[in-house]
Amino acid sequence: MTDLLFLADFSVIRPEPGLFVWTVLIFSVFWWLMSKFAFKPIQAALKERDNDIQNSLDEAKRAREEMANLKSENEALLAQASEERAKILKEAKAAKDTIIAEAKERAKADAQKIVMNAKNEIENLRMAAVVDLKNQVGNISIEIAEKILRKELGGSAEQEGFVKSLVDEIKLN
């Protein structure tokens, strides 16, 4: 029962000097043990966590910088590819224009050659027709003249002399 009286008489606001000494002593030992065995590992863990966070932030910064560099490199590559594409398209267009111009010139030359060949062929055929016509007219004239001469020169000596003189004239020309 005395124990219960002791508890009933206990007050937190008015501690007894013996209790106060023991409380300070126990707290000091507890604090020393905590600093020796708990605070150092906690402090090391916090320092390690701080280092990990800083490393992560540095790594994120490096990653951002790399991404920015890659982005600028990609933009440069895209610009270069665009320039090369434009250059290739320009060269292809120039090549196309050159090929078309050459094809037109060849077609024009071939057309002129065909026209000249056709004109030459027409002229040759015309000349052959004129020569053939002259030959036919000459043959017809000779036949007509021959028939006329046979009828006219039926045998008289005067007419035979006239024919001889004509033949001699022809030979002289």
pLDDT digits (tens, 9 = 90+) for 137-157: 778 878 777 777 666 666 667
Judged by average pLDDT, the poorest of 7-11, 19-23, 52-56, 109-113 is: 7-11
DSSP annotation of 96 reads H
Q: Identify the three-state secondary structure at position 156.
A: coil
Contact 129/136 with Cβ under 8 angstroms?
no
Contacts of 15 (CB under 8 A, 6+ apart): 23
Predicted confidence (pLDDT) per residue in 28-72, tens digit: 999 888 888 888 888 888 999 999 999 999 999 999 999 999 999
